[in-house]
Chains A and B, each alone.
Chain A
Amino acid sequence: MVAEQGIVIKRKQQVFKGQGLSQLADTLLDALLAEGVLKGKA
């Protein structure tokens, strides 16, 4: 996709499915922690 000033943003498109809801939630939270958009207990 093309954003302003020609920057191409490539999305990771990682899809999580087929697990229990708790595991799905933890998988998503781990990904968001790794991205640095959430933080865990110090």
Chain B
Amino acid sequence: MTNPLEILVFSEDIAFRQELLGKARQVADRHGGYVTLLLPGVASPDDATAYAAAGADRLCLVEGAGFDHYQTDTYTGALAGAIKQLMPKIVLVGATKRGFEIAPAVAERLQAGYASWVLDFEIEPESDRVCATCMIYSGIGTATYRFGQSTTLLTAAPGVFNAVTSQSRDLQVETLRLELPAPVATVVEYKPKAEVGARLEDASYVIDVGQGVKQPDDLALVESLAGKLGGQLACTRPLASDRDWFPEWLGLSGKKIRPRLCLTLGVSGAIQHVIGIRDSKVIATVNNDENAGIFTQADYGVVADLYEFLPVLMERMASRGITPV
């Protein structure tokens, strides 16, 4: 008799855990399996009920001194140690910057299977092997991998899976005793990241600006529109990484959103960026270059100078009494 399927979920991002648990729950339910959420550095979980509702059967806590500030060695040791003890078939890791540090390191240490940018996964009934469909080539294609019988680690980006509310279940809480390595590096200084407000992934309206916005002062015009929509501002990677106007960006290497409406302004439509907005219900775009690739990725496009168009758009919204839903 084979062991029941166990899926171990890990992310240091609290909000992200719900999405990962949702997918893990769906797969576990199809195979009579169970879902364990790993919580390194947590002595007593405050959100146990919420985790159970999100799909967890069990919480595994890992106590230790090295979790107060993030250290890759400590978290890598905790995840590797948990996998050795629990022997899960699948380890689903949030594809955050830290998740991308931890998951492949653990896979290498344990000689386990690993795939990144996972869009879907399942257990192949006839072979009992893990099959994962992953995004490749910046999202213009997918590849499906079939793994061996050892543990498989998968990383999935925020917004790929949906959180679910599952039936009430008895939640087990256990504490794992692990020997964690001492960190090889000492943190000298921490600086707080700039406040970005609510999660972009949760926004119903997103105004997405690109390099067609020329000056930082021009963002006031865009913010005015965002205010009328109760929406949030977001940007392409160059505006965050090169111009430093925003702390984060949308796209393959950034946030992925699924708002009711994504309005892009001066965005060219590079595939790496479109990956971050393509799950929006409706995409509208304004660009003065009618050959811009974004027009083929949008539902509605307006060929116009955004500096001239936005004031008129806001005036027409106001005079027609048009508001967010």
Residues in chain A within 8 A of chain B (CB atoms): 1-6, 9, 11-18, 21-22, 24-29, 31-33, 35-41
Contacts and interface: CB of A to CB of B under 8 A. Distances in A.
Q: Which 5 residue pairs are nearest across A and B when measured between Cβ atoms? A: A17-B303, A41-B321, A12-B299, A25-B316, A15-B301
A39 B303 contact: no
Contacts of B296: 11, 13
Interface stretch (B163-171, B190-198, B307-315): B307-315
Contacts, number: 109
A31 B119 contact: no
A13 B301 contact: yes
B23 to A, nearest CB: 9
Given A28-B313, A29-B316, A11 B297 contact: yes
A15 B313 CA distance: 16
Contact of A24 (B160, B298, B304, B322): B304
Interface stretch (B7-15, B59-67, B211-219, B275-283): B275-283
A26 to B, nearest CB: 6
A15 B325 CA distance: 24
Interface of B: 119-120, 133, 142, 160-161, 260-261, 274, 278-279, 281-284, 290, 295-304, 308-309, 312-313, 315-317, 320-325
A41 B303 CA distance: 27
30 contacts: A1-B274, A1-B278, A1-B297, A2-B142, A3-B278, A4-B279, A5-B120, A11-B299, A13-B295, A15-B300, A15-B301, A16-B300, A17-B290, A17-B303, A17-B304, A18-B303, A21-B308, A22-B312, A25-B309, A26-B320, A28-B300, A28-B302, A29-B320, A32-B261, A32-B284, A37-B282, A38-B322, A39-B323, A39-B325, A41-B322
